[in-house]
Structure 1
């Protein structure tokens, strides 16, 4: 098996080449040109297709989970159609993009209620099942650890100004570049109750911010330039909270999906 590591293959040409079962990690395919390429069975995680064009393609038995904006299929922008259908199926979803302080408080209350039900469902599983991955996605406990990281990053650090708010079990996203001083141990196996102890503290922190929120503060900006992540200048206060709402909403759906898969296995 040939391995390419830390090499610049810019401008390389591949013709009648088999890359079956190949693995690409941190590979840059910007402005690539592909013709008659077979992606059957391919798995792409953390991919970016901005400004991409696909012509003469076949999408059969395809599942796509991700953010859709200006996605035109056969001349039709499907993003608004998908968005409307998801809102129809889940009316609370439309409340996850609030514009005023009361809307943010409502959204967070919904999330806490929904997560309470999801955690109660998770408690019906064995501890080992909650450490089991479905389709190489995060386990249930890893999902909670990631949400703890998100709250620490966007609320404790960006809004409250704690330069290093981390807990040892916090878990960044898999494609994160990595930073000094920020924990990132995907293989750690804390118990559900141990992770929930941290989770409740982080939820209470966000709830307190929501309770004291005003429309004036929502219109402000925050800057954090200390070493670590995020490091942003003049970033919208409201966007910090919207990121947390989005993380909480989407990852609960993933968790419910995977719990269903675990039930079917058992």
Structure 2
């Protein structure tokens, strides 16, 4: 197996080569010209697609999960259709894009209820299995730790401009750059009650922020005190809180899916 690490292969041509089973991490693959290739069983995670065009492709089976703003399939933008169907299946989802303080309070209250149900499912799984990853994704405990990081970053570090909002159990996303002072304890295995205690603290911080806000205050511009958002130009308090809502919503769905797998295996 050839290892191409820290090399500039831009402009290279690969013709009639076997790249099956290859791994790409932190690679700039923008501007690729891909033709007559076999991409079956390819898994893409934490990638950025913009201006991608695929023509003459055959897609017998494909799944996309992520933030999709525009996706045209055979001339039809399917995003509005997908959004409507998801909201039909999960009516609470439509509440995750509030525009006033009351709406944010309602959305977080809904999440509290839904996560309460998820925690009930988690307690039916052994403590050891809550550290088990499903299909290479985060374990249940890691998911909760990452949500702690999201709260610290967007609420503590941006809305409240705290330069050090971190807790040792906070878990940045896998591809995040390392920064001095930011926790990076990927091998620790805290118990459920420990991460839940941190979660309650973070949820209380959100409640305090919302209690002190007016609808006009949601539009206040923010500036980041964290190294992950060095430039927060154009962001508002409402934008930051919506990011947290989205993280909470999406990761609860992932957690429910993984808990279901753990419960039957």
1:184 CA displacement: 1.7
Q: How does 1:96-111 map to 2 (within 5 A)?
A: 96-111=96-111
SS of residue in 2 equivalent to 1:121: helix
Q: Which residue of 1 aligns with 2:3?
A: 3
Structure 2: 5+ residue runs without aligned partners?
A: none
* C-alpha distance in 1 between matches for 2:211 and 2:116: 19
Residue 164 of structure 1 contacts residue 228 of structure 1 at CA under 8 Å; is this kept in 2? no
Give the Cα–Cα distance (whole angstroms) in 2 for the partners of residues 52 and 187 of structure 1: 37
Contact 1:95 1:107 in 2 (8 A): yes
1:69-218 equivalences under 5 Å are 69-218=69-218
Cα contact 2:144–2:195 (8 A) shared by 1: yes
Partner residue, 1:232: 231
Partner of 1:136: helix, strand, or coil?
A: coil
What CA deviation, in whole Å up to 9, does each residue of 1:16-75 have, x standing for no partner?
000111111011110000001111111111111110011111222222111111100011
Helix, strand or coil: the match of 1:205? helix
2:219 and 2:226 map into 1 onto residues whose CA distance is 26
Deviation at 1:169, TM superposition (A): 1.1
Q: Residue 180 of structure 1 contacts residue 228 of structure 1 at CA under 8 Å; is this kept in 2? A: no
Do 1:182 and 1:228's aligned partners in 2 also have CA atoms closer than 8 Å?
Answer: no
Please say if residues 159 and 237 of structure 1, whose CA atoms lie closer than 8 Å, have aligned partners that are also in contact: yes
TM-score normalised per structure 2: 0.97
Runs (4+) off by over 6 Å:
none
Task: For structure 1, list consecutive stretches of 5 or more residues without a partner in the other structure.
Answer: none
Q: Report SS of the residue matched to 1:239.
A: helix
Q: Does the Cα contact within 8 Å between 2:171 and 2:186 map onto a contact in 1? A: yes
User: What is the root-mean-square deviation in Å for CA atoms of aligned residues?
Assistant: 1.1
**Counterpart residue number, 2:59:** 59
Cα deviation, residue 211, structure 1: 2.3
Distance (Å, rounded) in 1 between the aligned partners of 2:95 and 2:226:
34
Question: Aligned partners of 2:156 and 2:175: how far apart in 1?
Answer: 22
Q: 1:227: how far off? A: 5.8
Could you state the TM-score of these two structures normalised by the residue count of structure 1?
0.96
